[in-house]
Structure 1
Amino acid sequence: MSLSDFMQQAMSRWMKGGGPQDDIILSSRIRIARNLQDLPFPILQTDVHAEQVISDVQNAMAHPDVQKLGTFEFARCREMSQLDRHVLVEKHLISKDLADQVRHGAVVLRNDEVMSIMINEEDHLRIQVIMPGFRLTEAWQLANAMDDALEGQLPYAFDDTLGYLTACPTNVGTGIRASVMMHLPGLVLSGQVNRMLSAVSQVGLTVRGLYGEGSEAAGNIFQVSNQVTLGESEEEIINNLSSVVQQLIDHERAARRALLQQNREVLEDRVCRSFGILAYARRMDSKESLQRLSDVRLGIDLGIIKGVSAGILQELTVMTQPAFLQKYYGQELGPSERDIRRATLIRERLRLDTEVR
């Protein structure tokens, strides 16, 4: 199968780029945590409880109010290979915790992979919508529509004072986590990023790396999300996050302009060196590939590099991850072999746009 054909089948919609302010905002995500009334949280559930949750969700998914929101596919974790589960993690469609929940875990995916529903992860249900660009409100509207449709069929655990009950106290209340994945090379290169992100943490938001909690901000990619779910409405949470993110966007744009004006030759050299390395390298580890891709994406956005699609950062950030590489090449790969195949895949992807050989 050609890389182009594989990409058409394997890429989620958010990986293709597009959307408002997508030169900085790679994706917007809404996640809603819900549990079923009178059933123990997953950490305490028995096999019988887990099967009841799965059965109840499957029945609810068959209702016309749910079906009108798209075409969905259900899969148990134990019926997927370990490789396929980890591909879904790398595509940000399920969590690593769910991928490891082989016995009781399951997932519902919409055919375009904009929406996924994790079953029996930390909570009974985690409804997620992920869209390209700065589209928090649109993502919330779709996630809320699914939440309402399921709540019409399922008895949610709810308290009149506390709100929706969740396994982790930090999610009690609305149960909503809103986040954006941001590409901030201007702030990093200008030495401003730590100060900016420290200020963000002072206003009730948290900053994590590419794959959420515990991951590093590789490739100048950061996830910014709300910390508080209790005492604020969903709209307030989204509005507060959107306001802060817009300020980060403004600072990032200013930093990029300053780099162009004050250090254009240095910036162009950095960008073009990274492009050349990606176009011709025969070995590439994951950390270097992400940094080089970040440089190239910055060059594309600033007009330094032409003829390469802007979505290449989202695409290759995921496609060069270990499980995705092995899925594409159809075989198990050790670390050294992955470095070779990673470089090959990047060269092939660049050729689709530039015919570099």
Structure 2
Amino acid sequence: MVSKMDKTVVSTRIRLARNLKDIPFASRLTPDAKKDVRQKIKDAAKSLPGYSFDYIDMESLTTIQAGSMVEEHLISLEFANDRAGSGLLLDRKHNISIMINEEDHLRIQVIGKGEKIKKLYDIANKLDDELDEKLHFAFSENLGFLTHCPTNLGTGLRASVMMHLPGLHESGLINKIINTVSQVGLTVRGLYGEGSQPGACLYQVSNQISLGITEADTLERLLEVVSQIAQNEAALREKMLENINIEDRIFRAYGVLKEARLLSSQEFSKLLSDVRLGAEGEILNLDLRMLDDIFLKAQPYTLMLYGGENMEIRQRDVKRAELVRQALNK
């Protein structure tokens, strides 16, 4: 039986912010010092058994390549915009990325599909312990892990759950949810985090507080809130899917995506959200992972990465429509 959370949770992410002991934060390092930190972290990660890290020098990437990594949620937007002295370690087998010299010396990130956030935390925590043995992270008995931004002090943990919430979005109740969760130390943001918009009705729910609370309590609180949001969304969807107008909209969206010759990013996101609603509600027999794959490949930077970096907006719209047609008509 498919749970309410299975129908709303798209992906989960664990991120741990860490800094090396007795070394200034990344923003205060000289280019040579940044290079030294980068090399230390790279050597430590690559020496660990059981992982397959590839190293990427962020300065060597184009804006398109870095932007595509943001769309894939491998790196933050801030990291993509300021790549000087930065590096990235990727272990795609385990869905692990380590950003080097972002705000902090390193940020360990593990991403997974669905709601298994505690399993992802165990992966991140194990890697954190292994790296700490080699690198010795900055830690205070009173403040916990020392971080560039005070909001990350303590555990340095940011746990987030990406949810598809068309019911709450269309009803306008999402604003009430945002206000409510802020009272328990959580936040709701758009697709790419702080300041971003909720493309395709996708929202990130994450913890805001990491000081004075354990990792276990953080995850438990987040899961409780996500479960409640999923229940609220399910109740709204039940009414939505009984409405012939909504059902018609879902099938029209599916028809347009299968046949369109031009798709703007905004139109595509709206239509795919409707199609995803139909798939989650078992009105359309479509694989959700396939829809996730389409969504990523149709994002502007990823589209240009594989279709040509010099594409104009209209060319992207043509390419996006072609990509979506091919995927849905297989």
Class of the TM-score when normalised by the shorter of the 2 chains? over 0.9
Q: Distance in 2 between matches of 1:273 and 1:117?
A: 42
How is 1:23-38 mapped onto 2 (pairs within 5 angstroms)? 23-38=7-22
SS in 1 for 2:288: coil
How is 1:1-16 mapped onto 2 (pairs within 5 angstroms)? none
SS in 2 for 1:293: helix
Question: Counterpart of 1:56 in structure 2: which amino acid?
Answer: K
**Contact 1:166 1:172 (8 Å CA) reproduced:** yes
**Contact 2:64 2:309 (8 Å CA) reproduced:** no
Question: Counterpart of 1:325 in structure 2: which amino acid?
Answer: L
How is 1:67-216 mapped onto 2 (pairs within 5 angstroms)? 67-68=49-50, 70-112=51-93, 114-216=95-197
Question: Counterpart of 2:262 in structure 1: which amino acid?
Answer: R
Number of aligned residues: 329
What is the Cα deviation at residue 196 of structure 1?
Answer: 2.4
Aligned to 1:13: none
Give the aligned CA root-mean-square deviation in angstroms. Answer: 1.7
What is the Cα deviation at residue 52 of structure 1?
Answer: 1.5
Question: Counterpart of 2:60 in structure 1: which amino acid?
Answer: E
Q: Distance in 2 between matches of 1:208 and 1:349?
A: 29
The 1:189–1:82 alpha-carbon spacing in structure 2 relative to 1, beyond 3 Å, is closer
What is the Cα deviation at residue 19 of structure 1?
Answer: 11
What is the Cα deviation at residue 113 of structure 1?
Answer: 6.0
Q: Distance in 2 between matches of 1:304 and 1:60?
A: 49
Deviates more, 1:121-130 or 1:297-306: 297-306
* Structure 2 gap ranges (5+): none
Question: Counterpart of 1:99 in structure 2: which amino acid?
Answer: A
TM-score in terms of structure 1 length: 0.88
**Contact 1:283 1:340 (8 Å CA) reproduced:** yes
**Contact 1:190 1:259 (8 Å CA) reproduced:** no
1:345 maps to 2:327: no
Aligned to 1:324: 302
Q: Distance in 1 between matches of 2:78 and 2:241?
A: 42
Deviates more, 1:22-31 or 1:221-230: 22-31
What is the Cα deviation at residue 197 of structure 1?
Answer: 2.6
* Structure 1 gap ranges (5+): 1-17, 353-357
Deviates more, 1:246-255 or 1:187-196: 187-196
What is the Cα deviation at residue 221 of structure 1?
Answer: 0.5
SS in 2 for 1:303: coil
Q: Distance in 2 between matches of 1:21 and 1:108?
A: 31
What is the Cα deviation at residue 102 of structure 1?
Answer: 2.9
Aligned to 2:23: 39
How is 1:241-256 mapped onto 2 (pairs within 5 angstroms)? 241-256=222-237
Deviates more, 1:288-297 or 1:80-89: 80-89
1:315 maps to 2:283: no
**Contact 2:18 2:137 (8 Å CA) reproduced:** yes
Q: Distance in 1 between matches of 2:303 and 2:154?
A: 39
The 1:20–1:260 alpha-carbon spacing in structure 2 relative to 1, beyond 3 Å, is closer
Aligned to 2:34: 50
The percentage of aligned residue pairs carrying the same residue is 42
TM-score in terms of structure 2 length: 0.95
